[in-house]
Amino acid sequence: MSSQSTPDERPIDIGFLILASLFVAALIVCNLIANKFVTADLGFQVFTLSAGVLPYPVTFLVTDLLSEIYGKRRANLVVWAGFVASAFVLGVLWLGNQFQAIPESIVDDATYKLVFGNAWRVIAASMTAYLVAQFIDVRMFHFWRTLTKGRHLWLRNNASTVVSQFLDSFLVVTVLFAGTGKMTVGEMAWIILGTWLFKVLVAFADTPLFYLGTWLMQRWRPAPL
């Protein structure tokens, strides 16, 4: 008789599941609110940002935690999972646009198209930047981890994020606005710089969360179900 366990008997890593879920949720909501631009006043500087930038640093914090606790392979798997989820959302938004709203609908066709009509370009820009930036982030995280022989959590957390966030900001703004006539090159450069600087500041600010998350996961890792 085979001693192999059935699918229902195989343990589920709750910590990994929570981090992966948080990653995908943050990524999806970034895409859905990306068309709204806001200002963020940090006291010393006012930033003009897409609202999607606000939750996006969570994805880099989570991939760093995944890389630290579970390794490069699992971190990359979650990055691919986020890509698939984004593609699914894009398909659902397109499908919703193929049906006409009824007169009693709270959201009419014009509102739906205004909010989600540009979603394909937003998500295409986000997915392009996302894949490049996240894989670079995971690779650089492990590069710094190897170079420092596992020491200096703050260094690999921030050094990997600074580079990957710049690539992400550059690619998102370029794919989203290049050739549309909505922004000049100078305006695009200013938004890229401001977005990147804001992300870097958030990355520095969440370093204590990275230390806390690593400490908690290493000591009180939830038992598999």
pLDDT per residue as tens digits for the range 59-81 = 888 888 888 888 888 888 998 89
- Note the pLDDT tens digit of each residue in 190-211: 888 888 888 888 878 878 888 8
Q: Is residue 150 part of a domain?
A: yes
Helix (H/G/I), strand (E/B), else coil: 39: strand
The pLDDT assigned to 22 comes to 92
pTM: 0.75
The pLDDT assigned to 225 comes to 46
- Is pLDDT at 15 greater than 80 in this prediction? yes
Q: Is residue 116 part of a domain?
A: yes
User: What is the average pLDDT across 101-111?
Assistant: 90
- Is pLDDT at 21 greater than 90 in this prediction? yes
In the chain, the number of structural domains is 1
Q: Is residue 154 part of a domain?
A: yes
The pLDDT assigned to 1 comes to 47
Q: Is residue 214 part of a domain?
A: yes
- Is pLDDT at 20 greater than 90 in this prediction? yes
Q: Is residue 224 part of a domain?
A: no
Q: What percent of the chain has pLDDT over 70?
A: 88
User: What is the average pLDDT across 134-161?
Assistant: 78
Q: What single DSSP character describes residue 51?
A: G
User: CB neighbours of 151 closer than 8 A, spacing ≥ 6?
Assistant: none
How many CA within 13 A on the CB side of residue 197?
Answer: 15
Q: Is residue 26 part of a domain?
A: yes
Q: Is residue 1 part of a domain?
A: no
Contact (Cβ atoms closer than 8 angstroms) between residue 68 and residue 214: yes
User: What is the average pLDDT across 38-62?
Assistant: 80
Helix (H/G/I), strand (E/B), else coil: 49: strand
Q: What percent of the chain has pLDDT over 90?
A: 6
Provide the domain limits for residue 143: 12-219
Report the CATH number that the domain containing residue 56 is assigned in CATH: 1.10.1760
Q: Is residue 7 part of a domain?
A: no
Higher-confidence position of 85 and 1? 85
**CA torsion sign, 187 to 192 to 193 to 198?**
positive
Return the minimum-mean-pLDDT range out of 7-16, 42-51, 139-148, 199-208.
Answer: 7-16
φ, ψ (nearest 5 deg) of residue 136: -65, -40
User: CB neighbours of 210 closer than 8 A, spacing ≥ 6?
Assistant: 61, 64, 65, 153, 154, 157
User: What is the average pLDDT across 157-172?
Assistant: 80
Higher-confidence position of 15 and 1? 15
